[in-house]
Amino acid sequence: MRLHSLSLTAFGPFAGTETVDVDAVARDGLFLLWGPTGAGKTTLLDAVVYALYGTVPGARGEEKRLRSDHADAAIRTEVSCELTLAGERLLVVRRPEQSRPKKRGTGETTEQARLTVQRWDDAGWLPVSTRIDEGSEYLRARLGLSAEQFCQVVLLPQGDFARFLRAEPEDRARLLRTLFDVGRFARAEEWLAAERRAAEESLRADRHRISTLLHRVAQIADVEVPEELAPELVGAQPGASVDAWVTAVRTGAAGDLIRAATSAEAAAAESARADEELAAARGLADRHARRDRARQELARLTAEEEQLVLLRARADAGRRAEALRDVLETAGRTALAAEAATAALDAAHIAWAQVGQNRDADTLLARELRDQAAAARALIPEADRAAGLARELPRLTRAVEALTARCGKGAREVAVWPERVAEAQRRLDAALAAAARLPGLTAVADAAGTALDAATRAERVAADLDAARAAAETARSAWLDARETLVEMRTARLDGMAAELAAGLASGVDCPVCGATEHPRPATHDGPRVSADDEERAREAVDAAEERATAARRAVEERERERAVLRGRAGELAPAELAARA
């Protein structure tokens, strides 16, 4: 921010118009405001703050008392400040709420506060805003500081520097974070804290793993873990070395291993000797068992010798009769064959009696009968085929009749086929044409569906937009009401503060506010008292209402952008026409 000029009219102790050309006095980059007490140095700084924020620091912030008591009634209190802010050269003209004589009749009327913000361009001064809320927001957005922060940093009022130094660390830190870009340092601090936490977590995990391994070693080695190697003390004391204890345990375990190996070798040799003795004993026991079984078998065979004598006699008789066995078997087969031949002869006589027609059986007759039987057997397939044809004749007759009927029907249908072929060709041509138009119609339908969806969503967004606008207007009204309440409470508090200060004034003693020694009109206050806590709560209420109003305004802007995008997608057609096309 850089000041170029400052003009005050009927402001503070200045009854007329005073103009300070800052560019002329600050050619070298610095300038000094110097003068005796009460000359108006603080008033110039108050005028800068009032032009930017509409208020002044401390008890002088009562807008109703900004007007000079020595100014003519026809002159309006006004502050004009030309400055460069955020790369823009601006002209800010602000007037407080003030009373003036009526142009007609007698008495006074109240003139409302005014704010005009203009921006310099090659063509001259261009208007930016003529509304107090809009212009104040425009300036505050480019300043980046609230009025309180601006007074604490850019302009420290009389006696407020010590108050800034005595402020709470959180308040000073919040202000300094606002002024200086310390984000990367905060991120570095957070990163270091996170690394410290990760290192501590890794250290605890390593200590837990080491403790687990130590207990496993102690359990296997059957020893106790020293107290200095407890889980929470592992690595904490320089003298408590885990390696030394593990080395000692390993050395002891190595000695135990050597002794155990020696004992194991001796036990193995003793076991081998015992195995040899056991094998010899088992071999001897096996031979004794075999001897006992042989003796039992010999006794059994000796007892069965008498029975073997009879069996041997029968076996000798069987060997002597072996020569007659073949003759007896042949005689038996011959008798059976004779019985079969007799039965076959009887059957032949019975069969001949049926076909011989009382003729004697001889060779010529038998040959004649065989020839006749062969001729009859040759005619059997023909007879079977004739019987089958006789059975198929009715079915074939019906089939011939059905074919005759179908032939007649086919002849009649042939007569109408050319018309049916022509009709099918016309339908095929129409189908091919429809298939050719299908991609274009599909694309049109898809586009219409997309547009219909956008139009439907645009209608819903429009309804939401109306509700959002109503909510934004409600939030803005609440914000303005909260601001008015804050101004009223601040006015009441300042009225009370002025009365308190006036109670301590004495003739000839400097005023702690303006430094004057004369006090022609000391302030009085008979209204309600407002504390700093009440004012702070009112300010918090204003900030909360402003945040809600800003959020509501952003919601309205988002709905408007969304509606514009959806209307651009939907086009100019109505939803009903889009639904018909889709």
Is pLDDT of 7 > 90? yes
Q: What is the dihedral of CA 7, 12, 15, 19, to 10 degrees?
A: -20
Q: What is the mean pLDDT of residues 494-504?
A: 69
Total Cβ atoms within 10 A of residue 290: 10
The answer to whether residue 279 is domain-embedded is no
Total Cβ atoms within 10 A of residue 455: 21
For residues 313 and 411, state if they share a domain.
no
Higher pLDDT: 529 or 437? It is 437
The answer to whether residue 273 is domain-embedded is no
For residues 384 and 416, state if they share a domain.
yes
Q: Nearest CA to 56 among 11, 21, 123?
A: 11
Burial class of residue 94 in the structure, from the number of CB atoms within 10 Å of its CB (0-12 exposed, 13-18 middle, 19+ buried): buried
The answer to whether residue 25 is domain-embedded is yes
pLDDT band at residue 198 under the 50/70/90 scheme = very high
Q: Nearest CA to 157 among 252, 61, 26?
A: 61
Q: Please report the pLDDT score of residue 118 as a whole number.
A: 93
Q: Please report the pLDDT score of residue 195 as a whole number.
A: 92
For residues 334 and 384, state if they share a domain.
no
Query: Residue 119 in contact with residue 133, Cβ under 8 Å?
Result: no
Query: Residue 112 in contact with residue 97, Cβ under 8 Å?
Result: yes
For residues 399 and 476, state if they share a domain.
yes
Q: Give the amino acid at 325.
A: R
pLDDT band at residue 190 under the 50/70/90 scheme = confident
Examine the fold and report which residue of 328, 361, 394 is the final residue of a domain before the chain moves on. 361
CA distance 371 to 407: 52
Total Cβ atoms within 10 A of residue 68: 19
For residues 82 and 49, state if they share a domain.
yes
For residues 417 and 469, state if they share a domain.
yes
pLDDT band at residue 152 under the 50/70/90 scheme = low
CA 153, chain centre distance (Å): 44
pLDDT band at residue 239 under the 50/70/90 scheme = very low
Total domains in the fold of the chain: 4
Q: Provide the 8-state DSSP code for 81.
A: E
Q: What is the mean pLDDT of residues 460-471?
A: 87
Burial class of residue 12 in the structure, from the number of CB atoms within 10 Å of its CB (0-12 exposed, 13-18 middle, 19+ buried): buried
Q: Please report the pLDDT score of residue 196 as a whole number.
A: 92
Q: Nearest CA to 482 among 94, 88, 52, 133?
A: 133
List, in sequence order, every residue forming a beta bridge with 111; answer none if it has no partner: 98
Of 24-33, 312-321, 458-467, 517-526, which has the strongest mean pLDDT?
458-467
For residues 332 and 416, state if they share a domain.
no
CA distance 152 to 572: 56
For residues 60 and 133, state if they share a domain.
yes
Q: Nearest CA to 58 among 165, 158, 145?
A: 158
Q: What is the mean pLDDT of residues 423-448?
A: 80
Examine the fold and report which residue of 342, 361, 380 is the final residue of a domain before the chain moves on. 361
Three-class SS state of 305:
helix
Query: Residue 519 in contact with residue 502, Cβ under 8 Å?
Result: yes
The answer to whether residue 276 is domain-embedded is no
For residues 473 and 338, state if they share a domain.
no
The answer to whether residue 159 is domain-embedded is no
CA distance 496 to 492: 6
Q: Which of 194-208, 361-375, 452-466 has the lowest mean pLDDT?
A: 361-375
The answer to whether residue 253 is domain-embedded is no
Q: Please report the pLDDT score of residue 428 as a whole number.
A: 83
Q: Which of 215-224, 409-418, 433-442, 496-505 has the lowest mean pLDDT?
A: 496-505
Reading the block at residue 109, the tokens are: 């009327």
For residues 96 and 193, state if they share a domain.
no
The answer to whether residue 286 is domain-embedded is no
Mean pLDDT over the full length of the chain: 79
For residues 394 and 353, state if they share a domain.
no
Range of 83's domain?
Answer: 2-101+109-144
CA distance 337 to 341: 6
CATH of the domain at 95: 3.40.50.300
Query: Residue 462 in contact with residue 560, Cβ under 8 Å?
Result: no
Helix 363-503, helix 532-570: angle, nearest 10: 140
For residues 318 and 389, state if they share a domain.
no
Higher pLDDT: 81 or 306? It is 81
Burial class of residue 516 in the structure, from the number of CB atoms within 10 Å of its CB (0-12 exposed, 13-18 middle, 19+ buried): middle
The answer to whether residue 181 is domain-embedded is no
Q: Which of 246-255, 288-297, 512-521 has the lowest mean pLDDT?
A: 512-521
CA distance 365 to 428: 85
pLDDT digits over 528-571, tens only?
777 778 888 888 998 999 899 889 988 888 888 887 887 777 66
CA distances from 401 to 64, 390, 397, 412, 481 (A): 125, 18, 6, 17, 107
Examine the fold and report which residue of 344, 361, 378 is the final residue of a domain before the chain moves on. 361
